[in-house]
């Protein structure tokens, strides 16, 4: 399996051309991810899929236990630490729009089993999509003013810590997609046949694809493939240090810098 630049998203950011003009030195994060995950490109998808189809998620038992321990400690600690903020958000949601505080939709979990994922409600109650299949777009009229703020900093996703405690999710893993996820009107597994392999492990609140910039609405085949490549690369090259980097960078980018959607 060949090695290449970390991801298409970062290649575009670096502005690489045939002459090499405009190329910036890779950051420590680029170097870390390339070293840990091999800098996989879409051309590597078939090899990744073949490897995982034959071998599965080859995570040592000790690493699995440690990961689950980190999930429980992190989710429980996060809920306790953030309780005042969670209560304020719940109060503001009830005070600014009609409807429940939480919004839940069916998502695909480990082994392809569906589960009910929680979020703070960010849309008007009569305009939301209970299936979660319809993507949110820029300036979406369904989103409340408060919801836009919550989504910008990914605060709407904090209730997923309860899903982590229940064992439905992990702090880090492939993002939890809605049941019946579509790519340009076509089921994801038909658009990218290797897609079901991402369900070998628990879905995560954040993940490698999100860190690489492949999040939000899936708009084309390239985006759909890139996401799956990142998900399978994460499963193939999992380590606790990789999880810690993903968590720290996600917190810095989304909760503090406000780069959520």
| Residue 37, CA distances (Å) to 126, 147, 170, 217 in order | 43, 35, 19, 24
pLDDT tens sequence across 145-195: 999 999 988 899 999 999 999 999 999 999 999 998 888 889 999 999 999
Mean pLDDT, residues 105-132? 89
**Cβ–Cβ under 8 Å, residues 3 and 38:** yes
Res. 17: pLDDT tops 50: no
In angstroms, rounded to a whole number, what is the distance separating the alpha carbons of residues 143 and 173?
Answer: 27
27: tokens are 């950051």
261: tokens are 């959607």
- pLDDT, position 176: 94
Q: Return phi, psi of residue 117, to 5°.
A: -95, 135
Report which of 149, 120, 114 is spatially closest to residue 133, judged by C-alpha positions: 114
For the chain, give the number of residues: 261
What's the chain's average pLDDT?
85
Residue carrying structure tokens 């680029």: 30
Higher-confidence residue of 68 and 11: namely 68
Mean pLDDT, residues 215-238? 88
In angstroms, rounded to a whole number, what is the distance separating the alpha carbons of residues 237 and 38?
Answer: 8
Q: Could you tell me where the DSSP H helices lie in the chain?
A: 8-14, 28-37, 45-55, 61-81, 83-96, 145-152, 160-166, 188-191, 208-211, 221-236, 240-250
């Amino acid at each position: 399996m060949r090695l290449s630049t970390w991801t298409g998203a970062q290649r575009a950011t670096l502005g690489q051309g045939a002459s090499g003009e405009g190329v910036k030195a890779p950051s420590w994060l680029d170097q870390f991810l390339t070293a840990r995950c091999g800098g996989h490109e879409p051309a590597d998808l078939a090899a990744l899929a073949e490897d995982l189809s034959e071998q599965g998620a080859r995570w040592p038992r000790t690493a699995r236990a440690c990961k689950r321990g980190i999930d429980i400690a992190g989710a429980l600690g996060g809920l306790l630490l953030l309780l005042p903020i969670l209560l304020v958000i719940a109060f503001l949601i009830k005070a600014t729009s009609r409807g429940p505080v939480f919004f839940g939709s069916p998502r695909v979990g480990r082994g392809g089993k569906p589960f009910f994922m929680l979020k703070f409600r960010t849309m008007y109650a009569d305009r939301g999509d209970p299936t979660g299949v319809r993507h949110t777009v820029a300036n979406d009229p369904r989103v409340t003013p408060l919801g836009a703020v919550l989504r910008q900093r990914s605060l709407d996703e904090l209730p997923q810590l309860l899903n982590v405690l229940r064992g439905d999710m992990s702090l880090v893993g492939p993002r939890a997609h809605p049941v019946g996820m579509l790519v340009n009107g076509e089921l994801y597994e038909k658009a990218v046949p290797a897609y079901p392999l991402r369900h070998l492990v628990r879905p995560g609140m954040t993940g490698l694809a999100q860190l690489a910039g492949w999040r939000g609405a899936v708009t084309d085949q390239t985006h759909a493939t890139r996401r799956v490549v990142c998900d399978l690369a994460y499963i193939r090259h999992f380590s606790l240090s990789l999880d810690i980097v993903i968590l720290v960078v996600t917190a810095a980018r989304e909760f503090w810098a406000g780069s959520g959607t």
